[in-house]
Structure formats: structure tokens, C-alpha cells
Amino acid sequence: MATEDADPIAPETCPTATGMPMLGLGTWQNDDAEQCAESVRTALEAGYRHIDTAQAYDNEDAVGEGIAQADVDREDIFLATKIWISNLEHDDVLETARDSLDRLGVDYVDLLYVHWPAGEYDAEETLSAFSELYDEGLIENVAVSNFQPEQLEEAVDVCDAPIFANQVELHPLLPQDEIREACENYDVEVVGYSPLARGQVFDQPELQAVAEKHGVTEAQVSLAWAREKGVTAIPKATGEDHIEDNWASLTVDLDQDDIDTIDAIDETSREVDPDFAPWN
């Protein structure tokens, strides 16, 4: 468990997946501008180097402000944002991606996602625009989010640029085995949002038992479990305590018995389930 007198955990301690830090700060629903900027600054100065936002979060300005305030070089930050479903027509992608860069105050983002395969999404039209942004150097990597295996296969087939990652809800109550297998088959990284199942992990006896065994929190166990699965986790946190507690998960080493215990959880819960989701 993180303590006030614990030695700081250096950024290079965080493992990477194809250059992407495997623990990042999520900013979904962090829509108080001052609080959002402060949480981003706090995370970066604590050691985080992966920040995730989206057009739909309405906080790109604040995220950019937090990056500007932090004593961390832009080149050392892996920054991701997402194009919302109403902006996925070809020309809208090109225009609104540039708007996102302006709001973030950066010349490029490291990762640009299709937020959902919904709304104005058309695989060929949408992803051709992403490829143009990639070729122009405005985005370092093309990614998708909330894609089922069949949508991922289509995206990989039609996109001229490589599909770098698929971001999906993923936690011990929704391990997404099928999607993780598909991503492995297509050499696509998996990024997990809501990795703490909106707090439900704290109530799971299996996670409580593993946490007690290691003297850490259920949140840290869940994040360590994701890492063992090869998943990059981006937990949302606003306060300094939670930001640092999540970061301290990098020191948690689970053994196979721990993994087996967590994998045996038979409760399933999906926290994000809009009507337009591809599984509905």
C-alpha cells in the first residue's frame, strides 16, 4: 500500500507495450476544468506518462492545461484522445482531430481512437481519414475503441495505417477473453478502461483475499492483474491519494495462485453499455 514515506516510483518502472506505458490516467467524467488540470499535473509529476482523454469528455482544454503545468516534457508523454461518433465522416475526422490538437495545445497526439463503431462510422471512410492524419504526422498511431472482434478484423483489413490498440472496458468482472484473443491475433494492443469496475472491485471477496495477502489495495490488485494479462489500464482518478495508490500498483507482483483466484470470479458486470454499442 502506498505510504507517505515510500520512495517515489520512477516513470521508467512502468512497463510498456509497443512503447505505450501500461498504466495511464483516465479522465472520463473528470469535467471540472480546474480539477481535471490538477489531476493531470499531479499524475505526470507522480510518474505517469500516459494520459487518456476524448472529445466527448469535454475536457481536452483542461487536459492540455495540466500537461502545460507539469514539469514533464511533451515528448515524454503518451497522449491519447478519441473522435466522437458524430464526427466520424471523413472530412469531420480531419477537421475535429485538428480541433482536438488545438484544445490540447499540442502538435500531435500519440494515439487517436475511433471512440465507438457507431454513429457516422464507416470503416473505409473513417479510417482513410485516420490514415491521412497518420501520414501527416498529426497522430503517431491509429486506434479503435469498443470494437468487437468482427469490427476489429474489418478495421485491420481496410486501414492503410496499422491499428495500434483497441480500448475496451476490461476488469476482473469483465475480462474480455475473446477480444483479447482477437487483438493478439491481429497484433493489436489492448487498453482497458474502467479497470476498477467503477469501484465494484473493492467488494469482491477474491480480490479482497489477494489484497490482504499482499498488504495492498483491491485497486492495486486489479491493476496488477490487468498488467499480467498484457492489458494497459487507464484508471480514472482525481485526488492525489487515488492517483498515487494506482501508481503504486506497479510494485505489486501477483503469483499464479493469485491470477487463478481472480480468474475464478464468476460474477460478470458491464459498466458501460449504451444502446449504440456493437454488442447490443
Residues classed as catalytic: 57
Sign of the CA dihedral 262, 267, 272, 274?
positive
62 by DSSP, 3-state: which?
helix
Non-local (6+) Cβ contacts of 27 within 8 A are 36, 39, 40, 51, 52, 53, 57, 59, 63, 236
SS3 110: coil
Contacts of 251 (CB under 8 A, 6+ apart): 9
- How far is the C-alpha of 44 from the C-alpha of 89, rounded, in Å? 34
Please give the angle made by the CA atoms of 146, 130 and 192, to the nearest 5 degrees.
Answer: 25
**Phi, psi dihedral angles at 163 (to 5 degrees):** -85, 115
